[in-house]
Structure 1
Amino acid sequence: MDYSKRELADRLAAEYALGTLRGGARRRLQQLLPAHPALAAAVRGWEARMQTLAAPLPEMAPSPRVWQQVQATLFTPAGAPQRWWQGLAVWRGLSAVAVAATLALAVVVVQPPPVQPPLVVVLNGTPDGAALVSAGFVASISADGRALVLKPLGTAQVADGRALELWAVPSGAAPRSLGLVSAQGSTTVLRNEILKGAQALAVSLEPAGGSPTGAPTGPIVSVGSI
């Protein structure tokens, strides 16, 4: 994924600063910031915008005329006819409504939305791949379907000149490449609708640099149903 693209960097930075980017996706973005100056600059920009919204407003003293009008409205001389808006009961009622509205808004703002658990897919080794790459994988996909983390279930050695590639496998359609993956550590995939239409995830053994045809060319070494 090209994080130098302004639109992509700005969208991710906005979600990060607003707090809508959560869980593993948020942690992955934090890990990516040192290596992507454009992304880091976008995050700083959005954080600066949010800080201005939280800045305290300067105190403003009302003019003497305003205070005179307030006193004339609230403190009617004895015996003078009282208008309906000067009644104490009216203001008590309005105060109660305002307090109830404030409490309701506080509950909505403070109560976080329920956190959706990620989807976990276990990819087991296949008989064809056992002699080549003896390792399974586990994939964790975020609830919004825009982030995937693939981890090996053991250690595996890939021969020189070969690479592992991850595929989303739809039903009745050609596999869709999700990029090269590591047999030694975690691999992160960030894109929209990672699992769109997919029924399984698979890892194939390909030439270095990935499949030259856009479809799996080597043996499938690991597969898991979604």
Structure 2
Amino acid sequence: MTEEDDILAAEHALGLADESAREASDPAFAAAVEAWRARLDPLLGPGRAPPPELWNRIQRRLPANEPGDPARPWRFATFAASAAAAVLLGILVLRPDGTAPTPAPQVATTPAAKMMVAALTPKEGSGTLTIAYDEREGRMTVTPVGMDADGRTPELWVIPADGKPRSLGVIAAKDARTMIVAGGHRPLLASGVTLAVSLEPEGGSPTGQPTGPVVMTGTMTIV
């Protein structure tokens, strides 16, 4: 089967040419016709012929015939019509009512939420602070183990690339606590960002910056 034979098979499947005799006697050509019918049936509907205006729409998109050889316009139009029927059908086929098919809507996908963890350790002494953060809900669970707050209030800070600490809130010195991170601070909680704990007066830092000693530090990691 040549490329021209395949185009003729497509034209026959569309009803633009009658090659019934060849289809009956040439198994390879008949298989090509059936293959084209299988491709076209989902577009045209089972047993449905191309809409009458399809041929006119194809002709309007063909290049103008060149002057010169008197037989050239007919030869070019015959080949171009076959090619257009096979190649352009996908963008020219219309519904029976003359309207173009509506593209299937794209389904938006929601990126998977990241879970992050951190383990903060002291510069000196013992104790740890483990943190689990759910990015989707902005929910952070803070669990201290063996922390000695020396009677003061621990406050948790995030320190982004600009080096300026932002308070995530006061935490308990002995018990696990879950809190919701403020919306403006959530973008700061990325992999590799530094977290720190300072010891502040009751109720937390009065200045919006750490005023007491920084006793623990660690970094966030995506899991």
Q: TM-score, normalised by structure 2?
A: 0.44
User: 1 or 2, which has the higher helix percentage?
Assistant: 1
Instruction: State which structure, 1 or 2, has the greater radius of gyration over its C-alpha atoms.
Output: 2
